[in-house]
Structure 1
């Protein structure tokens, strides 16, 4: 394995030879083999060990083991102890995601502070199989089936072509010591369950499963490359790039077969995930928007416009004073005082101005909100109204309410509240219109 590993470094990672490398070493068999192979090849290496404080004394023993090994090999080592449980609770994320974020954020800091070039991790071929199966069970596109990238910016994974069995054999042949993580035996995690219950069955059914999987992975990567090339060619014909936004021509887009696949390729880098809502946006009314964490897609006539969110769009609460004739953000609303009630629609309502308390509040809906739907008696939960009207998750998140003194006047563009709507006896009308 050592000679194969060296050949791979020469062919795929020759740029590492004169670089300062930070090896992520947990103390497990995979990372210890990675450490010893780079040490034997005389690379300029440094070690980073994360103590996630998740296994009490066992975590501290792993830390001591890595420290002592590095001392014996005369390799500089950096240790960081994390309160992973506390961080996961604060950030409202799983332990696994919390540990991943803590780990890679710290690695990035070390690269900068210590003037190192790359982080090397010990992910191997069996990790790729497990990741493939995890993505398959959760539902994924082609990219989710192409495995773990050998290089992702400053992170390098040089063991991806080697199986767990090869790594174990190398460790035994070279008397390499390692630590066993007791949590790896637990099947409460999906990855471990696949590792212990599913992958062994696949290997039993096909003794050459590892080789077959590598071939499949290579084929999928080639297919993904073709998809990306085709996507880029079509992108240049349909998408116009401007300084602060990108415009997708809907008329040209919908002439393509499976145009949803192109939208997926173009929009996934922006963090969007509500794909059914995005595909429906093509035929939605002008003005409809869908948000990701940092970007927004707006349907504007014959275009889908992608832009960054600004700070205002993160705001969910606005005051409207009595003298206001127009509101321009986040919605364009016109206020007027007509002599009579004219035609009504979802975008126009007439209310009794004497029942309104200023300032009016424009806000997003909140759990527990209720209103009295126009034309009906009694109250109804907003959440029940959304369900009855088949609002999507995105629709719910984007819906604005106009409120007076904690009472909902209007589910904007949908339904007014019976308590506020005007009638023939109303003396002072207020017309609200979405422009």
Structure 2
């Protein structure tokens, strides 16, 4: 299996490369996406370390002056009508000024420093010759400082997301409660349904709410005033990846001859805040917190398990136990459902409301290894490889039947499969 799978995964990444960066898929997602590029770099580093470095450099070439890394960087050669919301919707030049690429104004989870460190490790000598880390490090620091400086809405030292798209887990049931207070927008034409079945995508009601939130953010000049955001949530996945990336920044700082202590202190601070504010001892899981209501959104999102990627997490054993329980059955299935299998809201084939995603599987595999659950990590790895071998590099799969859903030849699926193939169980 592995030899053929490796060749097929490599072909997906080569075909989706557009000169400076990689599109997630040719039809549904024809531009560069932020956290996609981080995962893509993890796979590209096994094919072409220089191309992996360029993937991240290209993304950070579109970084805003305030430090944010936009969740979409638009390809000027792609027709504006190929994707909605396109560059004309976001009007990013009104904020960034002339000379910047057209981008969105939202962000996505900060896994980039982790990807940059792993990309460097794949080819240290050539990365040093190119000055990869010296050029990227200050941009990564500015990105993290944007998040911790501009997005601490709740006063707990945790980052808030202001749109479900920023969480990366767009229409998770975890967002249903705060989204319910958002009036849906009209007057737009979706493009995603040109490429995917309606039953696999967000509903019209949810999509209208997404557009409303994005329009309001744009109309307020992308100001990060919590009073201007109907949706403001402290997300465990976002904050866990920020903590893990602070650990990676400490490694990068050592490589560059700089002091890692500030990054290690930030790792400790974020870890403490995650556990103190978002962890529920009763169910052994992290939950998002609605900033406006002050309540934990106690839903069974797999985001509550992703903090396993945080080094030194004091509640890791409880999370491992939760993965094995009836809500996720990870030891039995190997594929991580994106939502509680026992919940009535679970939908096996709808975007982030139940299907297993390969990047989340990679994060859990990494976290399980980090905290000593190597046998379970091996089960996850084997299930991810088998699923890709069976159905191809689909965007997501039914965790119970392994039926493929969403886009075909999806880049981060191919990328994390390439990375997993490099490791022994």
Structure with a larger share of its residues in helix = 2
Q: TM-score under structure 2 normalisation?
A: 0.24
Q: TM-score under structure 1 normalisation?
A: 0.24
Structure with a larger share of its residues in strand = 1
